[in-house]
Amino acid sequence: MKPFRRVFVVGGAHTTYMGKARADFVHPKQVTAERRNPTLEEHLQASVRATFEATGADPSAVDKGYVSNFLGECFARQGHLGSMLAAVDPALEGKPFARIEAACASGSAAIAACIDAMQAGCDVTLVAGVEVETNVRGSEGVDHMALAAHWEQQRGLSQFVFPHLFGVRAKAWKEAFGGTSEDLARIVVKAYANANRNPQALNHTSAMTLEHADTPSDRNFLFLEDPELHAHMRLTDCTAFTDGASSVLLATEDGLKRLGIAPGDCTEILSYAHSVRGLGKPTDGARLVNVQGAASQAYADAGITAQDVDVAEVHDCFSVTEAQHYPALGFCAEEDSPARIRDGSFALDGSLPVNPGGGLIGFGHPIGATGVKQVLEVHRQMRGACGDYQMAERPRIGVTSNLGGDDRTGIVMVHAAVG
Amino acid sequence: MKPFRRVFVVGGAHTTYMGKARADFVHPKQVTAERRNPTLEEHLQASVRATFEATGADPSAVDKGYVSNFLGECFARQGHLGSMLAAVDPALEGKPFARIEAACASGSAAIAACIDAMQAGCDVTLVAGVEVETNVRGSEGVDHMALAAHWEQQRGLSQFVFPHLFGVRAKAWKEAFGGTSEDLARIVVKAYANANRNPQALNHTSAMTLEHADTPSDRNFLFLEDPELHAHMRLTDCTAFTDGASSVLLATEDGLKRLGIAPGDCTEILSYAHSVRGLGKPTDGARLVNVQGAASQAYADAGITAQDVDVAEVHDCFSVTEAQHYPALGFCAEEDSPARIRDGSFALDGSLPVNPGGGLIGFGHPIGATGVKQVLEVHRQMRGACGDYQMAERPRIGVTSNLGGDDRTGIVMVHAAVG
Q: Number of A:B CB contacts under 8 A?
A: 229
Give the pLDDT band of residue A419 (cuts 50, 70, 90).
Answer: confident
Domain CATH code at residue B70: 3.40.47.10
Please check the confidence at residue A14 and state whether its pLDDT lies above 90.
yes
B129 found inside a domain:
yes
Suggest the residue from A64, A83, A155, A367 to mutate for an interface test with chain B (most B CBs closer than 10 A): A83
The Cα B216–Cα A266 span in angstroms is 63
Contact B120 A3 (CB under 8 A): yes
Please check the confidence at residue B29 and state whether its pLDDT lies above 90.
no
A48 found inside a domain:
yes
B372 found inside a domain:
no
Please check the confidence at residue A28 and state whether its pLDDT lies above 90.
no
Is some CB atom of chain A closer than 8 A to the CB atom of B36? Answer: no
Give the closest of A147, A293, A409 to B82, CB-based.
A409
The Cα A154–Cα A194 span in angstroms is 34
Q: Maximum CA pair distance of chain B?
A: 60
Contact A97 B276 (CB under 8 A): yes
- Contact call for residues A119 and A269 (beta carbons, < 8 A): no
A6 chain-B contacts, CB cut-off 8 A: none
Is some CB atom of chain B closer than 8 A to the CB atom of A300? Answer: no
Give the closest of B64, B79, B278 to A147, CB-based.
B79
Please check the confidence at residue A29 and state whether its pLDDT lies above 90.
no
Q: What is the ipTM of this complex?
A: 0.98
Q: Domain tally for chain B?
A: 1
- Contact call for residues B328 and B319 (beta carbons, < 8 A): no
Could you list the beta-strand ranges (E) of B119-225. Answer: 124-131
Give the closest of B70, B119, B148 to A120, CB-based.
B119
Closest approach of B37 to chain A, Cα-based (Å): 15
Contact A121 B121 (CB under 8 A): no
For the residues A12-22, what does the mean pLDDT come to? 98
Is some CB atom of chain B closer than 8 A to the CB atom of A47? Answer: no
pLDDT digits (tens, 9 = 90+) for A41-86: 999 999 999 999 999 999 999 999 999 999 999 999 999 999 999 9
Q: How far is CA B270 from the centre of its chain?
A: 19
| Ramachandran angles phi, psi of A118, nearest 5° | -75, -25
pLDDT digits (tens, 9 = 90+) for A194-239: 999 999 999 999 999 999 999 999 999 999 999 999 999 999 999 9
Question: Per this entry, what is the length of chain A?
Answer: 419
Q: Residue B5: closest CA among chain A residues belongs to which residue? A: A120
End-to-end CA distance of chain B: 23
Suggest the residue from A250, A276, A406 to mutate for an interface test with chain B (most B CBs closer than 10 A): A276
Please give the helix or strand (H or E) that residue B323 lies within, else none. helix B319-328
Contact A80 B149 (CB under 8 A): yes
pLDDT at residue B269, as a whole number: 99
pLDDT digits (tens, 9 = 90+) for B374-401: 999 999 999 999 999 999 999 999 999 9
CA dihedral sign, ordered B128, B133, B135, B140: positive
pLDDT digits (tens, 9 = 90+) for B78-108: 999 999 999 999 999 999 999 999 999 999 9
B74 found inside a domain:
yes
Contact A147 B77 (CB under 8 A): yes
Closest approach of A255 to chain B, Cα-based (Å): 17
Closest approach of B116 to chain A, Cα-based (Å): 5
Contact A83 B103 (CB under 8 A): yes
Give the pLDDT band of residue B28 (cuts 50, 70, 90).
Answer: confident
Q: Residue A297: closest CA among chain B residues belongs to which residue? A: B94
Domain span at A245: 7-136+241-264
pTM for the predicted model, two decimal places:
0.98
Neighbours of B183 (CB within 10 A): 22
Q: What is the mean pLDDT of chain A?
A: 98
For the residues B333-353, what does the mean pLDDT come to? 98
Closest approach of B89 to chain A, Cα-based (Å): 9
Contact B83 A119 (CB under 8 A): no
pLDDT at residue B124, as a whole number: 99
A16 found inside a domain:
yes
Contact A290 B80 (CB under 8 A): no
Is some CB atom of chain A closer than 8 A to the CB atom of B81? Answer: yes
Region for B69 from its dihedrals, namely left if φ exceeds 0, alpha if ψ lies in -120 to 50, beta otherwise: beta
pLDDT digits (tens, 9 = 90+) for B220-278: 999 999 999 999 999 999 999 999 999 999 999 999 999 999 999 999 999 999 999 99
Report DSSP letters for A223-262, one per residue: ----TTTGGG-BGGGB----BEEEEEEEE-HHHHHHHT--
A303 found inside a domain:
no
B80 found inside a domain:
yes
| Ramachandran angles phi, psi of B67, nearest 5° | -95, 130
Amino acid at site B130: V
B146 found inside a domain:
no
Q: What percentage of chain A carries pLDDT values higher than 70? A: 100
Give the pLDDT band of residue B419 (cuts 50, 70, 90).
Answer: confident
Give the closest of B78, B83, B151 to A276, CB-based.
B83
